[in-house]
């Protein structure tokens, strides 16, 4: 368990560093586009393409961190209204299983995208960068969605155990 915790901490740092890097590059590239237009008269083809590649990674890293921290927008009044610990545990178990199931479906969709990308590879229009470089962000993200979904299921069952101990 402690080892998993360490891996998670490490990954969290990696995600945050990557969020910072992609944000800086994305902003820098778009800003450079504006500057180059005024100082060099012409804008470099492909600047926006690189900026959107950074953006896509940023989007997915943001999604992953939000999933890790369970910070996705949620309507929580049902959760708030359940006070009995045991009922709450059952509620959390059911909810986490639903999310986990849905995340498996999303993983399936992502695998279809990967299969298609391997069957018919594509490149970006201006720079000819393989599209898979961008799509990889979404593929990785969905793997983490499933992982965090599974983690939440385990946690929810843990809730049941601690309650049984206390009762």
Binding residues (CB under 8 A) for another protein: these are 16, 19-20, 22-24, 26-27, 30-31, 33-34, 41-43, 45, 48-49, 51-52, 55-56, 58-66, 69-79, 91, 95, 98-99, 102-103, 105-106, 108-110, 112-113, 115-117, 120-126, 128, 131, 134-135, 138
The DSSP code for 127 is T
* Torsion on CA atoms 34, 38, 40, 46, rounded to nearest 10: 20
Tell me how crowded residue 149 is: count the other CB atoms within 10 A of its CB.
Answer: 21
Q: How many residues does the chain have?
A: 167
Q: Would you state the structure tokens that stand for residue 29, as one six-digit string? A: 């590239």
Nearer to another protein, 121 or 158 (CB): 121
CA distances from residue 153 to 20, 79, 80, 83, 138 in whole angstroms, order as listed: 30, 16, 19, 20, 23
Nearer to another protein, 122 or 162 (CB): 122
Contacts for 135 with CB less than 8 Å, ≥ 6 apart? 113, 114, 117
Cβ 19 to another protein, closest distance in Å?
A: 4
Cβ 3 to another protein, closest distance in Å?
A: 25
Cβ 165 to another protein, closest distance in Å?
A: 25
* Burial class of residue 91 in the structure, from the number of CB atoms within 10 Å of its CB (0-12 exposed, 13-18 middle, 19+ buried): middle
CA–CA gap between residue 33 and residue 36 (Å, rounded): 5
Nearer to another protein, 12 or 157 (CB): 12
Nearer to another protein, 25 or 157 (CB): 25
Nearer to another protein, 89 or 134 (CB): 134
Cβ 144 to another protein, closest distance in Å?
A: 12
Cβ 24 to another protein, closest distance in Å?
A: 8
């Amino acid at each position: 368990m402690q080892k998993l915790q360490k891996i998670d901490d490490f990954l969290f740092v990696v995600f945050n560093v990557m969020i910072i890097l992609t944000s800086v590059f994305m902003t820098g590239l778009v800003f450079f586009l504006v500057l180059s237009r005024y100082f060099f008269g012409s804008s470099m083809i492909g600047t926006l393409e690189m900026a959107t590649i950074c953006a896509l990674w940023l989007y997915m890293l943001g999604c992953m961190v939000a999933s890790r921290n369970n910070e996705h927008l949620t309507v929580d009044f049902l959760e708030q209204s359940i006070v009995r610990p045991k009922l709450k545990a059952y509620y959390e178990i059911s909810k986490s299983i639903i999310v986990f199931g849905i995340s498996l479906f999303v993983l399936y969709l992502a695998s279809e995208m990967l299969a298609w990308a391997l069957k018919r590879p594509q490149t970006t229009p201006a720079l000819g960068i393989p599209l898979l470089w961008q799509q990889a962000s979404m593929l990785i993200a969905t793997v983490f969605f499933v992982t965090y979904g599974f983690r939440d299921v385990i946690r929810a069952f843990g809730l049941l155990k601690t309650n049984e101990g206390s009762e």
